[in-house]
């Protein structure tokens, strides 16, 4: 990695496809993104969609999100469809922690897509400790049925830890199956999943569709 970035990227590109190339792309992307996030983003974007670049996409998304989450999200939306979800997920995790209101506003403007579903899922899972009710509204807007159910269940478990009474009232309207609802309640009664500390609401932008 002591060579110039042009040499490093050429070296990684010249390797045969497989785990060694994936590891090389990951290492080069991590170093490149710290040195020049914009240039690294362009380089990785030109390889996105290939299996060997999957981890590199996440490395760059993480670094871009650290600098400017909005730019990272826009970059993620320009990637091939097969790479969008992981990049959006990585971006939204950091953005939600740092500025949930801005993250929610960006989500509100996104058109329905697999990338949006991944972004909303990350947002809801990250935000459920601050405002589980709003996180649940976002989770319910996910179009992919399996992802929606998984995200709602994750929010439900977090909500049960912070305010079991409110969560129990919400569960019948959650859209979760009766079996999933019972699993959430059963696990809460057994005291699984950590503490029961309450947390106050934060920002989070407007609920979806408003």
Give the distance, in angstroms, between the CA of residue 184 and the centroid of all CA atoms in the same chain.
23
Q: Is residue 89 part of a domain?
A: no
pLDDT at 201: 44
Predicted structure pTM score: 0.82
In the chain, the percentage of residues whose pLDDT exceeds 90 is: 85
Q: Do 45 and 15 belong together in one domain? A: yes
* Average of per-residue pLDDT across 55-80: 96
* 179 within some domain: yes
Chain segment 23-61, per-residue pLDDT in tens: 999 999 999 999 999 999 999 999 999 999 999 999 999
For residue 56, give its domain range.
1-84
Among the listed ranges 41-50, 104-113, 130-139, 186-195, which one has the minimum average pLDDT value?
Answer: 186-195
Q: Residue 81 is encoded by which pair of tokens?
A: 């469809």
- Residues 104, 201, single domain; the answer is yes
Clarify whether residues 170 and 202 are in a common domain. Answer: yes
Quickly state the pLDDT bin for 200 (edges 50, 70, 90).
very low
* Distance (Å, whole) CA 25 – CA 53: 6
Nearest to 73 by CA among 65, 81, 58, 117: 65
* Three-state DSSP state, 78: coil
Distances (CA, A) of 158 to 13, 169, 197: 43, 14, 10
pLDDT tens-place string over residues 77-123: 999 999 999 999 999 999 999 999 999 999 999 999 999 999 999 99
Residues 103 and 75 placed together within one structural domain of the fold? no
Residue 120 backbone dihedrals phi, psi, to 5 degrees: -65, -40
Q: Are residues 21 and 108 in the same domain?
A: no
The confidence score (pLDDT) of residue 208 equals 73
Question: Are 193 and 147 within one domain?
Answer: yes
Residue 185's closest CA among 160, 155, 158?
160
Provide mean pLDDT across the span 137-151: 97
Q: Determine the pLDDT at residue 196.
A: 38
* Overall average pLDDT of the 6-30 stretch: 95
Write down which residue in 84, 116, 138 finishes a domain: 84
Note whether 201 and 170 are same-domain residues. Answer: yes
């Amino acid at each position: 990695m002591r060579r110039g970035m042009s040499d490093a990227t050429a070296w990684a590109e010249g390797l045969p496809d497989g785990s060694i190339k994936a590891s090389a792309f990951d290492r080069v992307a991590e170093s490149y993104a710290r040195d020049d996030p914009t240039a690294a983003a362009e380089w990785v974007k030109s390889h996105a969609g290939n299996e060997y670049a999957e981890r590199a996409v996440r490395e760059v998304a993480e670094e871009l999100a650290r600098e400017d989450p909005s730019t990272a999200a826009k970059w993620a939306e320009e990637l091939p469809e097969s790479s969008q979800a992981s990049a959006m997920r990585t971006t939204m995790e950091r953005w939600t922690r740092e500025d949930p209101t801005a993250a929610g506003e960006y989500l509100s403007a996104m058109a329905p897509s697999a990338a949006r579903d991944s972004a909303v899922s990350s947002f809801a899972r990250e935000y459920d400790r601050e405002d589980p009710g709003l996180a649940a509204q976002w989770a319910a807007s996910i179009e992919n049925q399996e992802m929606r159910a998984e995200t709602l269940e994750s929010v439900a478990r977090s909500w049960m830890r912070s305010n079991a009474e409110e969560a129990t009232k919400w569960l019948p309207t959650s859209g979760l199956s009766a079996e999933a609802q019972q699993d959430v309640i059963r696990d809460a009664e057994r005291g699984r999943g950590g503490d029961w500390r309450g947390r106050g609401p934060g920002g989070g932008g407007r609920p979806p569709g408003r």
